Amino acid sequence: MFNVFRARIHQKHRTIDFPKSAPVLPDRFRGLLSYDAALCQAECEACIPVCPTDAIDLHEPGIALDLGKCLFCGACEAACPTGALRHSTEFRMATRTREDLLLSGEPLKLAQALEAKAKKLFGRSLRLRVVSAGGCNACEADINVLSTVVFDIARFGIDVVASPRHADALLLTGPVTENMRLALEKTYEAIPAPKLVIASGACAISGGPFAGLPEQHDGGAGLLKVDLYIPGCPPHPLTVLDGLLRLLDRLDG
């Protein structure tokens, strides 16, 4: 017992101060793609064929990016001859609608808070039932990280629960394979109304690298009404946490 106390004293306070202060992410972190239209030579089209999920397309006067399809692989940044496309260290990327993830030079419209009645129900306590519908386990791993002492998601009244009967929201990962479709639908039905649906990761939003394959459903939007989209492959734990706190109106900016 004394060794435990001694270790905790040595470790000191481990929980990050977010959202009171901005986190410092390493330069190698691949966050939101910044696009400089002034540098873009759209006619070169170098970034389009290298994208593994067809997330980039021509759009007058430059290009358009579908953040819901983006795998954050960095291939477009490496292929761009002018530096018009660059990954930033911006982790805030969650949106309320699928359309808000379609970018063509304008700033990303971050998620807005729930409507007043829903915010009153979920604002102080939110229980999540995670459904891994054919994912590779990367998104699930980073969701699990939120329960560690570093992020301590429970301090915001947010917890992951084992039973959908105890949940307020369904947190979906994976492209929704046909073998997981029925399990997803039954889990959703078992969550008491009113309830929320959160799609986390490119697979859950658009099918990711599996989009178009008949064995899956290109994410959850075709089966369920999604209330929050969290892009990434996988989304960083801070991206998930920021999106949840925005949804609950727990952030100032």
User: Residues 106-154: pLDDT tens digits?
Assistant: 899 999 999 999 989 898 899 999 999 999 999 999 999 999 999 999 9
Note whether 170 and 188 are within 8 A (CB). yes
97 part of a folded domain:
no
- Give the DSSP H or E segment for 241: helix 237-247
Answer whether residue 228 is part of any domain.
yes
- 149 to 81, 154, 226, 250: CA distances (angstroms): 42, 10, 29, 20
Q: Which domain holds residue 165?
A: 116-247
How many domains is the chain partitioned into structurally? 1
Cα→Cα distances 50→21, 57, 65, 92, 182, Å? 37, 11, 13, 25, 35
Is residue 107, in this structure, part of any structural domain at all? no
Q: Domain of 159: which CATH number? A: 3.40.50.12280
- Is the residue at 15 inside a domain? no
Distance CA 71, CA 208 (A): 7
Per-residue model confidence as pLDDT tens digits over 60-115 = 778 899 999 999 999 999 999 999 999 999 999 999 999 999 998 789 999 999 99
- Residues 77 and 87 sit within 8 Å (Cβ to Cβ): yes
Q: Is residue 61 part of a domain?
A: no
How many Å separate Cα 80 from the centre of its chain?
A: 25
**Alpha-carbon span 32 to 72, nearest angstrom:** 8
From CA 115, how far away is CA 19, in angstroms rounded?
A: 22
pTM score, two decimals?
A: 0.93
- pLDDT-derived band at 13, boundaries 50, 70, 90: low
Q: 132 in a domain, yes or no?
A: yes
Instruction: Say how many C-beta atoms besides its own lie within 10 A of residue 211's C-beta.
Output: 18
